[in-house]
Amino acid sequence: GQQLNQSPQSMFIQEGEDVSMNCTSSSIFNTWLWYKQDPGEGPVLLIALYKAGELTSNGRLTAQFGITRKDSFLNISASIPSDVGIYFCAGQLLPQGGSEKLVFGKGTKLTVNP
């Protein structure tokens, strides 16, 4: 089955630093999604990418859908304490039958020291 390799597993940074995390796969995806999860809450969608090469920003967040459709990265600029959480990438295939299942990375746990 499809697998996503998300790295790094965890990051400890100082407030104000930039952050970069990425996901790679041996499979080709039609959609890449990035989520953030705060403790005890459901993941919240940050950025959705639908086309190869697409670069999308959402405030201090920037994500790109790789040209090969097998990878994506998420950058956070000028980190702040509320950026703390677990970030998940997810790739979506549209197999025949129309079930849009997601394949998730294992997450990147971000800690920001004030």
Long-range contacts, stretch 44-47, CB < 8 angstroms, 24+ apart: 46/74, 46/87, 47/74
Residue 78 C-beta: closest distance to other proteins, Å = 26
Binding site for other proteins (CB under 8 A): 31, 33, 35, 39-45, 48, 50, 86, 88, 90, 92, 98-102, 104, 106-107, 109
Residue 18 C-beta: closest distance to other proteins, Å = 24
Residue 99 C-beta: closest distance to other proteins, Å = 6
Spatial CB neighbours of 99, under 8 Å, sequence gap ≥ 6: none
